[in-house]
């Protein structure tokens, strides 16, 4: 193999941190179809807040042929300089919760235009077992005219990025690797080992690596669904769920999961990928889909609980003012992909409650464009009135310092979804 020259396809929450890391040692073309995103990165700004400006600026270069460094680009032509292509585009589901592989297939088609003999393609996007070999590789072969495992080779190393986490960053998270041949697998493993401080686990096949990634998220989804169901049961019994979990947590092997809204681009999506593939083999995955149903119902459940509490406090529901704190899918990050806070908003709006949303982390314009709702980003914009109820939906650090009592009417309620107060 010639000198390693890497192309990262997709510079989102996963792609940019990876591109930055590889750029400390190799020449990297960071490709994304979004021109605005590329221009921001080229100026040293990451709006996802995953890569600090100082670290990003240290690796930026102005020419894709430099010996090492990151060259951000929206021009396909720049991919011709590369011989290692790493795909980090998002994988989502459609309105019927069916896997949408179109971004992945489009990326494969684009790569194929520049694929040469001896090149390596590595997929990081989360997929069901078999997607790389059954869906992506045929596209690479067809569009390039090259032969798989003869002219070009393929690896799979699933991403393990946790948006907003400044401790478990890409370089210190152990990575699963795999390849289409034993030699390719070792090549993929060596590539990641060269920049990671946490090491790798070389899986025996691409399908094993794909399956390992997807069950990580399925397991977490099911565990959260369990405590969400417990929260519903204990609410009926008038038992404090947080107190129960604290007591149960004194046992050494009790898993410390908390109830809440399960959104985001991984846990709220990936179980559907495995479920769909299982059904192709004639098996209906009851536990996986049951967990999904429980977690998808939590937004409506929270809204219903708030309304019940308002009625219990003799607060007028119709026309009431409710403040929702947080719109992202998790705390202390700007990522609102697949946020379940929108379910609370819709449910409260359906009974004509006036909802105000405050989140200092999100881009208000992007939220307006996607959901057609207003999210305020400044605390001064929401402190001009008092509210009948406040729903703490996301535990951003800013919310924990707010004087919530000053924002509610006498007899008003604060509903803490995250049990963080």
C-beta separation of 356 from 376 below 8 A: yes
Residue 304 to residue 92: CA distance in whole angstroms? 28
At residue 22's C-alpha, the angle toward residues 17 and 23, to 5°, is 95
**Strand bridging mode 69-73 / 27-31:** parallel
C-beta separation of 91 from 103 below 8 A: yes
Task: Name residue 28's beta-bridge partners.
Answer: 6, 70
Query: Quick check: is 420 catalytic?
Result: no
Tally: H helices and E strands in the chain: 14, 15
Residue 28 to residue 19: CA distance in whole angstroms? 7
Rounded to a whole number of angstroms, the distance between the first and last alpha carbons of the chain is 56
State the catalytic residue, choosing from 266, 333, 419, 420: 266
Distance of CA 314 to the CA centre of its chain: 40
Q: Determine if residue 240 is left, alpha or beta; phi over 0 gives left, psi from -120 to 50 gives alpha, anything else beta.
A: beta
Question: What length does the chain have?
Answer: 421
| Other Cβ atoms closer than 10 A to 93 | 17
Task: Enter the tokens of residue 75.
Answer: 């021009």
10-to-21, 104, 142, 212 alpha-carbon distances in Å: 15, 10, 22, 22
Catalogue the active-site residues. Answer: 266
């Amino acid at each position: 193999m010639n000198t390693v020259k890497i192309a990262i396809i997709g510079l989102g929450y996963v792609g940019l941190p990876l591109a930055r890391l590889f750029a400390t040692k190799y020449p990297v073309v960071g490709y994304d179809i979004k021109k605005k995103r590329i221009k921001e990165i080229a100026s040293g700004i990451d709006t996802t807040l995953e890569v600090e400006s100082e670290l990003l600026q240290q690796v930026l270069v102005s020419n894709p042929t430099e010996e090492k460094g990151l060259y951000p680009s929206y021009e396909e032509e720049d991919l011709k300089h590369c011989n290692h292509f790493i795909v980090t585009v998002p994988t989502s589901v459609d309105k019927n919760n069916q896997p949408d592989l179109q971004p992945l297939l489009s990326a494969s088609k684009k790569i194929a235009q520049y694929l040469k003999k001896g090149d390596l393609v590595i997929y990081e996007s989360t997929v069901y077992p078999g997607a790389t070999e059954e869906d992506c590789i045929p596209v690479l072969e067809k569009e390039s005219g090259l032969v798989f495992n003869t002219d070009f080779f393929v690896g799979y190393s699933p991403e393990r990025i946790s948006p907003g986490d400044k401790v478990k960053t890409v370089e210190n998270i152990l990575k699963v690797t795999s390849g289409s041949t034993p030699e390719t697998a070792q090549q993929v493993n060596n590539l990641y080992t060269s920049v990671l401080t946490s090491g790798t686990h070389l899986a025996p096949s691409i399908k094993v690596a794909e399956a390992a990634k997807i069950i990580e998220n399925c397991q977490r989804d099911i565990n959260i669904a369990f405590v969400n169901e417990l929260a519903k049961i204990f609410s009926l019994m008038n038992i404090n769920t947080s107190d129960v979990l604290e007591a149960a947590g004194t046992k050494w092997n009790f898993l410390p999961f908390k109830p809440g809204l399960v959104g985001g681009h991984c846990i709220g999506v990936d179980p559907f990928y495995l479920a769909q593939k299982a059904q192709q083999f004639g098996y209906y995955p009851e536990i996986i889909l049951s967990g999904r149903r429980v977690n998808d119902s939590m937004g409506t459940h929270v809204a219903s609980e708030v309304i019940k509490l308002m009625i219990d406090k003799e607060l007028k529901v119709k026309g009431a003012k409710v403040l929702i704190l947080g719109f992202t899918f998790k705390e202390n990050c700007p990522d609102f992909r697949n946020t379940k806070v929108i379910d609370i908003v819709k449910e409260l709006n359906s009974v004509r409650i006036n909802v105000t949303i405050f989140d200092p982390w999100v881009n208000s314009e992007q939220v307006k464009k996607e959901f057609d709702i207003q999210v305020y980003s400044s605390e001064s914009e929401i402190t001009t009135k008092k509210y009948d109820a406040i729903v703490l939906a996301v535990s951003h650090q800013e919310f924990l310092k707010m004087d919530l009592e000053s924002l509610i009417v006498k007899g008003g309620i604060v509903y803490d979804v995250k049990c963080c107060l």
